[in-house]
Structure 1
Amino acid sequence: MVSLQLSRLLNTCAIVVLCAFSLNAKAKEPFELVGVTTAAGEKQSYIAEEGNVRLPVTVVNGAHPGPVLLLAAGTHGDEFPAMFALQKLAEELDANTVKGTVILLHLANLDGFHGRRLALNPNDEKNLNREFPGSSTGTATEQIAELLTREFISRIDFFVDMHSGSSNQKLLNHVYSPFVGDDELDELTFEFAKATGMQHIVMYGDRPTDPANSISFPNTAMTRGKPGLTTEIGHLAERDQESIDFAYEVAKNSMFFLDMLPGQTAPHQEAVIYEDIQYTQSNYDGFFTPLVTIGDSVTRGAEVGVVIDYFGNEVQTLAAPVDGTVLMINETPPIRKDESPVAIGVPQQ
């Protein structure tokens, strides 16, 4: 795991200056994305199309040099707050004052959105966030992943994949700060995560390090040397204004961190760093009822949920496997054998 002690000594501004030497952004030049060119100092929204893939994007190509930032919503089509937050940001941004280029991917999984599907694409029943780096000759979801890898990830320097809880998930707002064993990249990613202003930061090292098997959208960035965060803001497939406003704030903080807009980042003064997430597991099909809620502190062995069979008989009491904080619970009753209805974050000691 990345040395958190070292990372706390790093100065955010110094990191950003250091990274500027390796940025892809080219000062005051047109920016091309999926065959559409946006001139310096211009903003345009359009449907990026290739084959059967359609992606609504806004490109803000700043008049001044700076990094290329990708902010993506709708990797899962039923996670709404970030979609509205990016619409607001797209309307607000003025390309004449932006440094660098920001790509707002409003909906990465358009068919999943219109199909009202929990995480999946109805064209092939696949989860986009498990199909990277994709295939141009593969299924519908694999083709989306390949285009996102080739056209989007290849052109950026920083990435935030903006999620929330699906209709069955209740979540405590948090950000994943992944690490892949590259000390400089991992430290920079952690500083980026803190700069979002989110209180709960999960250190995440469970993804592959092979670019050819990157699996998820942000890991595709990380395995190519680019910081890629995942934010989780809002839950239960809701579109509440509080979550929309917070997702918007996190997006703006990402731009402040990269000096793309005038303003200061505001890392949370009571940030909690989690070194691991542990899950409960059901041994039965049936109905699940949580006995805790998000944000609760639990001790190892504490009862966190109950499983009953189809006839109402209690068949299992789920216990916390570790001491920690409840980050996610399945709020809806259906449960399958081997599913994990409660996630517990293990705070760093």
Structure 2
Amino acid sequence: MDDEEPFTYDGGRVDPGETQNLRYTVSETYLGDPVKMPVTIVNGERPGPSIALTAAVHGDELNGIEVVREVAHEWDLTDLAGTLVCLPVLNVPGFVAQERYLPVYDRDLNRAFPGEVGGTSSKRMARSIFDNFLEPCDLCVDFHTSTRGRSNMLHVRAEMANKRVERLARAFASNVIIDTEGTAGTLRREATRAGVATVTIEMGEAHRFQRSLIDQALEGIRSVFAEYGVLKTEVVRWPGWRTVVDGSSEKTWVRADAGGLVDMHADRGAFVEAGSTICTIANPFKTATVRVHAPFDGVLIGVLENPVVYPGNPLCHLVKVDQPTQRAIERSQSA
């Protein structure tokens, strides 16, 4: 929204200068009780973009919840330009059950967007969220973590061919941007298709708050706000080094060729050289050990946290980097 105007949704409105906390009904239980999603809308007195911050579309992905809550309820937003729509828990049933998917319906909410009025339970829920709180916005930052037993370094996933998305992705100031359009049905892809420039932020692992990653993400949001003039005092952040990994370029999940217990020798975010040992896999007696080597020079954007594997299980997610990026990483790590 470029002019000062109310933000409206089915059943309510938030005028310029107002803040509203609400629980919006998105579904019903078997007993007919409402399933209510928490929403905070801050409509600034100055004109500016409308930005949605979303988290927990997978109910066990918690880091983003705290990011959205802190922006909505701890930051000074009295001088906000534009409108901020904060949706800390999209998948309420999954969050309550601490499960990734919608537990009652056994569906992935992040494959149901933009939804369908007369569709499945997940598509009806997605449609309600999309129509009322996502499509009215200009921009969206959607927070995720890795699945159980794995952990991601903080990075952005974005469709960089879309110039509006590219601007948002670079403004978040992460070291790594993975350039993909996203899978059909995901919030990011479908919101972008509807004209809402959207990026995904991957950070950490499920079932926990990880303070260092939460703080990094908050700095990313401050940088976004600076880029779009949402708050006057913010400064656009440069992360020190950055690599944009094309979706078709070299990246891989390195997988186990043996079963056993895993000892990781490098953490998420680390640079590893081709041929170096990423981890070792050993049997319970340590009488047989398998060394797992990096297939190319790259950055570990995701690593195993649960140290037990079958053959074929993923160990780490490695993305290839060029020599200038490698030198920048080495400089930043030695600084």
1:228-267 alignment, distance < 5 Å: 228-235=198-205, 237-267=207-237
Give the residue type in structure 1 aligned to 2:21.
Answer: S
Partners of 2:288 and 2:195 in 1: CA distance: 49
Partners of 1:321 and 1:72 in 2: CA distance: 35
1:219 is aligned to 189
- Secondary structure of 2:166's counterpart equals helix
| Superposed CA offset, 1:238-280 (max 9, x none) | 3243333333222232222211111233332522213243211
Alignment equivalent of 2:70, drawn from 81, 88, 92: 88
Pairwise CA distance, 1:81: 2.7
2:56–2:90 CA contact under 8 A, matched in 1: yes
2:138–2:197 CA contact under 8 A, matched in 1: yes
Alignment equivalent of 2:27, drawn from 51, 57, 64: 51
Pairwise CA distance, 1:318: 4.0
Q: Which range moved further: 327-336 or 87-96?
A: 87-96
Pairwise CA distance, 1:131: 3.0
Matched, 1:292 2:266: yes
Between the aligned residues of both structures, percent identity stands at 23
Pairwise CA distance, 1:202: 1.8
- Secondary structure of 2:199's counterpart equals strand
Give the residue type in structure 2 aligned to 1:38.
Answer: V
Q: 1:59 to 1:330 in 2, by over 3 A?
A: same
- Secondary structure of 1:173's counterpart equals strand
Partners of 1:166 and 1:105 in 2: CA distance: 20
Q: 1:271 to 1:86 in 2, by over 3 A?
A: same
1:233–1:246 CA contact under 8 A, matched in 2: no
Q: 1:237 to 1:231 in 2, by over 3 A?
A: same
Q: 1:267 to 1:316 in 2, by over 3 A?
A: same
Pairwise CA distance, 1:47: 0.9
1:109–1:121 CA contact under 8 A, matched in 2: yes
1:272–1:347 CA contact under 8 A, matched in 2: no
Pairwise CA distance, 1:83: 1.4
Partners of 1:260 and 1:279 in 2: CA distance: 38
Give structure 2 stretches of 5+ with no counterpart.
Answer: 29-34, 324-335
1:167–1:235 CA contact under 8 A, matched in 2: yes
Give the residue type in structure 1 aligned to 2:64.
Answer: A
Give structure 1 stretches of 5+ with no counterpart.
Answer: 1-24, 209-213
Pairwise CA distance, 1:226: 2.9
Partners of 1:42 and 1:94 in 2: CA distance: 14
1:274–1:345 CA contact under 8 A, matched in 2: no
Pairwise CA distance, 1:306: 4.6
1:270-349 alignment, distance < 5 Å: 270-275=240-245, 276=249, 277-282=251-256, 288-306=262-280, 318-335=292-309, 338-348=312-322
Give the residue type in structure 1 aligned to 2:87.
Answer: L
2:326 is aligned to none
1:43–1:60 CA contact under 8 A, matched in 2: yes
Matched, 1:73 2:47: no
- Secondary structure of 1:244's counterpart equals helix
Partners of 1:136 and 1:289 in 2: CA distance: 49
Q: 1:50 to 1:238 in 2, by over 3 A?
A: closer
Q: 1:314 to 1:266 in 2, by over 3 A?
A: farther
1:123–1:140 CA contact under 8 A, matched in 2: no
Matched, 1:60 2:35: no
1:197-216 alignment, distance < 5 Å: 197-198=173-174, 200-205=175-180, 207=182, 214-216=184-186
Partners of 2:257 and 2:305 in 1: CA distance: 18
Q: Which range moved further: 338-347 or 303-312?
A: 303-312
- Secondary structure of 1:341's counterpart equals strand
Give the residue type in structure 2 aligned to 1:155.
Answer: P
1:77–1:111 CA contact under 8 A, matched in 2: yes
1:173–1:233 CA contact under 8 A, matched in 2: yes
- Secondary structure of 2:266's counterpart equals coil
| Superposed CA offset, 1:171-218 (max 9, x none) | 222222323x4xxx3x332332222232x122322535xxxxx32111
| Superposed CA offset, 1:285-326 (max 9, x none) | 765543432233223344434556799886965443332011
Q: How many residues align?
A: 313
Q: TM-score, normalised by structure 1?
A: 0.78
Partners of 2:234 and 2:300 in 1: CA distance: 31
1:121-200 alignment, distance < 5 Å: 121-179=102-160, 181=161, 185=162, 187-198=163-174, 200=175
Partners of 1:348 and 1:150 in 2: CA distance: 42
